[in-house]
């Protein structure tokens, strides 16, 4: 497996983006939750793509995850906090050398950024190299339907698919 796309997702938005990135990358890529992305699954990866939603200007914390789970409203899908947080996964990530790319799902505005920066710091600290800047995908403030990924704004999955293609081309050019 050349590429793994690791994600933390509570309402399916970041998961949908991760799967679109893997589809864009094509053969040799897999989208994995944080508990599926074990050290043995990363052994053969030349590129690690990691993404998370933004919570309070950064990666979700146990407090923000608990708050999200507690806010389950009638008519909305519940937050999925069954997988470890990206923060936990990054704390135990195997060291490099590897290439990486980081992304985040966020709302528009000054409070909607910070997760990809934290991912980048952690992976750089683990000896990974980032060949390009992080990217982001935009979500709405509220769920439009009761379906997973209902907060993604139109065109975001296509944007993720195209980013996956660009990552594949970048990786091929570095070989």
Q: Which domains does the chain have, with CATH numbers?
A: 3-174 (3.40.50.360)
Question: Which whole number is the average pLDDT over 85-104?
Answer: 93
- DSSP assignments along the chain, one per residue: --EEEEE--SSSHHHHHHHHHHHHH-TTEEEEETTT--HHHHTT-SEEEEEEE-BTTBS--HHHHHHHHHT--TTSPPP---SPPHHHHHHTPPP-SEEEEEEEEE-SSTTS--HHHHHHHHHHHTTEE-SS--EEEEB-SS-SSSSTTTTBPTTHHHHHHHHHHHHHHHHHHH-
- The pLDDT, as a whole number, for residue 74 is 61
Q: Tokens for 124?
A: 């750089």
- The pLDDT, as a whole number, for residue 24 is 97
pTM here is 0.90
Averaged confidence pLDDT in the chain: 88
Tell me how far apart the alpha carbons of residues 151 and 73 are, in angstroms, rounded to a whole number.
15
Task: Calculate what percentage of the chain has a pLDDT beyond 70.
Answer: 90
Task: Calculate what percentage of the chain has a pLDDT beyond 90.
Answer: 57
> pLDDT grade, residue 12 (50/70/90)?
confident
pLDDT > 90? residue 73: no
pLDDT > 90? residue 148: no
Q: What are phi and psi of 19, to 5 degrees?
A: -65, -35
């Amino acid at each position: 497996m050349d590429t793994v796309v690791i994600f933390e997702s509570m309402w399916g938005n970041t998961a949908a983006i991760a799967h679109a990135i893997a589809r864009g990358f094509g053969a040799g890529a897999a989208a994995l939750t944080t508990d599926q992305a074990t050290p043995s699954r990363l052994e053969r990866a030349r590129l690690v793509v990691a993404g998370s939603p933004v919570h309070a200007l950064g990666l979700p914390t146990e407090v923000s995850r608990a708050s999200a789970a507690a806010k389950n409203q009638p008519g909305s899908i519940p937050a999925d906090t069954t997988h470890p947080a990206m923060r936990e996964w990054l704390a135990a990530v195997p060291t490099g050398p590897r290439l990486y790319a980081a992304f985040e799902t966020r709302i528009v505005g000054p409070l909607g950024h910070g997760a990809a920066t934290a991912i980048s710091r952690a992976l750089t600290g683990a000896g990974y190299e980032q060949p390009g800047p992080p990217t982001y995908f935009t979500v709405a403030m509220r769920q439009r339907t009761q379906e997973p990924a209902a907060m993604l704004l139109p065109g975001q999955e296509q944007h993720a698919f195209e980013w996956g293609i660009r990552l594949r081309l970048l990786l091929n050019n570095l070989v």
